[in-house]
């Protein structure tokens, strides 16, 4: 089973995204940047990361930079899901290796299809 890491400081968003993704992979929820980096550092590498930018401590942009620098060879597909809607932020995330930038609020099916495409699956 493929692995999906969800990183968001909002418990409601983590639960929502977790429910959306649970039928497509093994979902792990993280509420900050430090906790996902600790998981990566012990060798638990996901297929997909759904990442919020506004996190306490290590923010989403810093996580993207770390992924791009130290984990690029793992080919982790990272989707940024954020309420920030500026071209500069979107471009910066894509430049750091994000597969896509999805602006909150979003349609759940749109995100689900993007995740499925990242996992190379189809909806059953």
61: region left, alpha or beta (phi > 0 left; psi from -120 to 50 alpha): alpha
Residue pLDDT, tens place only, 61-115:
999 999 999 999 999 999 999 998 899 999 999 999 999 999 988 999 998 888 8
Instruction: List Cα–Cα distances, 107 to 23, 82, 97, 112, in angstroms.
Output: 18, 13, 23, 9
Read off the pLDDT of residues 5-50 as tens digits, 9 standing for 90 and up.
Answer: 999 999 999 999 999 999 989 999 999 999 999 999 999 999 999 9
100: enclosing H helix or E strand = strand 100-103
Q: Which tokens sit at 14?
A: 């983590």
Architecture of the 3-119 domain: 3-Layer(aba) Sandwich (3.40)
Domain segments of the chain as ranges: 3-119
Query: 57 pLDDT exceeds 80?
Result: yes
Q: What is Dmax (Cα atoms) for the chain?
A: 38
- pLDDT on residue 118: 82
């Amino acid at each position: 089973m493929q692995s999906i890491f969800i990183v968001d400081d909002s418990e409601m968003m983590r639960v929502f995204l977790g429910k959306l993704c649970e039928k497509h992979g093994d979902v792990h929820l993280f509420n900050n940047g430090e906790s996902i980096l600790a998981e990566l550092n012990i060798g638990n590498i996901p297929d997909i990361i759904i990442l919020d930018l506004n996190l306490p401590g290590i923010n989403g942009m810093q996580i993207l930079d770390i992924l791009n620098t130290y984990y690029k060879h793992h080919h982790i597909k990272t989707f940024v899901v954020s309420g920030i809607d500026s071209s500069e932020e979107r471009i910066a995330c894509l430049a750091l290796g994000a597969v896509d930038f999805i602006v909150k609020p979003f349609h759940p099916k749109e995100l689900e299809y993007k995740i499925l495409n990242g996992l190379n699956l189809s909806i059953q």
